[in-house]
Amino acid sequence: MLSLNDPLLLKTQLFINGEWVNGDSGNTFPIVNPATGTEICKLASGNKNDTNTAIKCAQNAMQKWRQLTAKYRTQILKQWHALIMENIDDLALILCAEQGKPLAEAKGEIQYGAAYIEWFAEEAKRIYGDIIPSNNANQRLLTVKQPIGVVAAITPWNFPNAMITRKVAPALAAGCAVVVKPAEATPLSALALAELADRAGLPKGLLSIVVGVDAIEIGKALTDHPLVRKLSFTGSTKVGKLLIKQCADTVKKTSMELGGNAPFIVFEDADLDQAVQGAIASKFRNAGQTCVCANRFLVQRSVYQEFTEKFIEQTKKLIVGNGNTENVTMGPLINTDAVQNIHALVTDAERNGATKVLGGAASELGSNYYLPTILTNVTPQMRIFNEEIFGPVAPIIPFDTEEQALELANATEAGLASYVYTQNYARIWRFSENLENGIVGINEGIISSEVAPFGGVKESGNGREGSKYGIDDYIEIKYLCMGGI
C-alpha cells in the first residue's frame, strides 16, 4: 500500500451515486506499478449493469443541479479545487505509482488538472445567451444556453488526473452530470478525485466513476444508453472512430481528442539552444507518452548536424528510473506492450536505413523501461515517420526549403499539435497558418494550458477542451421566438 498522509484517498471500490460500492459482479482486478511491477491494490471491477445504474442516477441528480444558480455551482467547484491543492502530495504519489511518471511531473499534472476546475468554476457564471434583432416588429428573438444532459467521459492512462478534470469541470459547470470510465491501468487518480469532489459537497449522482477490465462492455453501455447525450473521449484514433459509430444510433454529441503525429520544425534561423530545450520538454515528457509529443523532427539541412549534436548532448542528461526516486527525469512506459511497439518502430527504421545515434534498446532497469532514443537518416517512407510513436524515440529528418518542410509536416492524417522554431516573424505567420494542426507551438515546447483551446483537426478529432470555448460542447442553444408584442 502507498504511504499517504490521508489513506482514505486510495480507493478500491467504484464510486456510483455518491457511494463506494464493490460492483455488480463482485470481481476485482490488480492495479500494478509500472516502475516496479508490484501490485498496488486490488480494485472492484465494474460492468454494464454498474454503468447503467450510474447513468440513471446521473440523470436524476442533474435535474436539481441544472436549476441551481451558476454561483452555487462555482462555489462547489472552487471547494473541489481547493481540496485537490491541499492534497497535492498524496495525489501525486498515487499518480506516480499507477502511471510511472516522475513525482515532480506528477505533481505538475495535479496542478494542471486542478487549473481546469478553477477555470470552469468561473466560466459557469459566463454562459450567456443573446438578444437577436428581430425582422418583425411584433416579435422578440432570444437564445438561452442549457446543459446538454448526462455526459459520458472515457479517459486514457497517460494523464489519469488532468484528462478527467478537463472533461468533468466544464460539464459540471454547465449543469450536467458525468459518468467517467477511466483507463483500467490507472483508475486510482480518478477515484481520489471523486473522493475529494464528495468532500467538497458535490451532490450525489453528479459524478460517478465506473472502471472495469472489460472496457468494451462499459464503453458500449455508455454509447448505447439514450440518457447519455454527450460523449467525450481521449485516446487512440482507432477507438475514437469506433465510439463515433456507436454514438450515431442515438445521435450523441461527441468530443474526440485522438492521436497525433506532431512535427517539430527547426529552421536555420532558429535559436538552436532554445529549440533543443523545447525538443527535450516536448519529446521526453511522460516518457514520450503524450498525444502532443514531438513525433517527427524536421530540421533544415544547414543546421541539421549542429542541432542533432546539441540534442544528443542534452538527451544524455536525462535520468531514467522509478519516478518516486529523487532526480529521476523519465520514468517507465506503461507496460511491456508499449516497449515492444516502439522497439518495433526503431527496428523497422534501422532496417530501412536509419542510424541509431543514441539509445534504441530496452533498459536494464526493467521490462517497462526504454532508453531515450535518437535516430538520424530517417525518411518519410519509414513507419516511424507515419505512425504515432508514443515513446521516448526522436526521429530526425532533414529538409531544404520552407515548402518542403510544410509538405513533410502536413503529410499525415493526424492534425493535433505542431512546433515551429524560427526568428523570422513573417515565416511564423505564413507557416503557422498553413500547418494542418489545431495547435501550433512557436518557439515553445510546452503548449497546453487551461486558458487555451486544446484540440485537433483532420483525424485528430473534434471539439476543444479548456478556454472559453471548452464549455460549448456541454451546452445546447435554445432559440425562443416571442410573438404578439
Q: For residue 235, what is the domain's CATH number?
A: 3.40.605.10
E-state strands within 237-376: 253-257, 262-266, 294-300, 355-358, 373-376
Cell 468554476, residue located? 121
Tell me the pTM: 0.97
CA 77 from chain center: how many Å?
A: 20
Angle CA(68)–CA(477)–CA(436) in degrees, nearest 5?
Answer: 120
User: Number of folded domains in the chain?
Assistant: 2
Does residue 455 form part of some domain? no
The answer on 297 and 213 residing in a single domain is no
Cβ neighbours around 221 below 10 Å, total: 24
On whether both 172 and 281 belong to a single domain, the answer is no
Backbone angles phi, psi at 103, to 5 degrees: -60, -40
CA distances from 226 to 248, 294, 365, 376 (A): 11, 39, 48, 51
Q: What is the DSSP letter of 203?
A: P
One domain for residues 390 and 423: yes
Q: Are residues 284 and 251 in the same domain?
A: no
Please tell me whether residues 148 and 285 are part of one structural domain: no
For residues 271 and 323, membership in a common domain is answered with yes
The answer to whether position 394 is within a domain reads yes
Domain that holds residue 430: 262-411+417-449
Any idea which residues carry the catalytic annotation?
257, 291
Give me the tens of pLDDT residue by residue for the chain, a chain 485 residues long.
Answer: 689 999 999 999 999 999 999 999 999 999 999 999 999 999 999 999 999 999 999 999 999 999 999 999 999 999 999 999 999 999 999 999 999 999 999 999 999 999 999 999 999 999 999 999 999 999 999 999 999 999 999 999 999 999 999 999 999 999 999 999 999 999 999 999 999 999 999 999 999 999 999 999 999 999 999 999 999 999 999 999 999 999 999 999 999 999 999 999 999 999 999 999 999 999 999 999 999 999 999 999 999 999 999 999 999 999 999 999 999 999 999 999 999 999 999 999 999 999 999 999 999 999 999 999 999 999 999 999 999 999 999 999 999 999 999 999 999 999 999 999 999 999 999 999 999 999 999 999 999 999 999 999 999 999 999 999 999 999 999 999 999 99
Both 287 and 211 in a single domain? no
